[in-house]
Amino acid sequence: MNLEKAKKRIAKQINKGFDGYPQLTLAYFGASADCATEVVVGFVAEAGAAVQEQRFVSKQDARQDETIQSVLVKIIERAEARTVTEIPGTAVIT
């Protein structure tokens, strides 16, 4: 899947808003606010359930990495996520 198509599909899911569970949360981290080298996917199966996390690391900006963005689309599909949220911006890790 090409990068733009993957990003568009993820954005469409995010823009739908809260629609129940299961819920996925995407959070980006990096050495600076301009380059997110890590993405953490949080999965919550139902209200009150513990969060399960999966982490992906890239040498370049993960938001521009076609492989990582395609994997995120597949995770959303396979988890049958009803809600997808994204934490805005890139959290700086030191």
Q: What residue spans define the domains of the chain?
A: 3-92
Kindly indicate the confidence band of residue 1, based on its pLDDT and cuts at 50, 70 and 90. confident
pTM of the model: 0.91
Per-residue pLDDT tens digits for 13-50: 999 999 999 999 999 999 999 999 999 999 999 999 99
pLDDT over 90 (residue 94): no
For the record, the structure tokens of 28 come out as: 């980006």
Question: What's the CA dihedral at 69, 70, 71, 77 to 10 degrees?
Answer: 110
Kindly indicate the confidence band of residue 87, based on its pLDDT and cuts at 50, 70 and 90. very high
Alpha helices in the chain (DSSP H): 3-15, 66-79
Per-residue pLDDT tens digits for 43-82: 999 999 999 999 999 999 999 999 999 999 999 999 999 9
Q: In terms of CATH architecture, what is 3-92?
A: 2-Layer Sandwich (3.30)
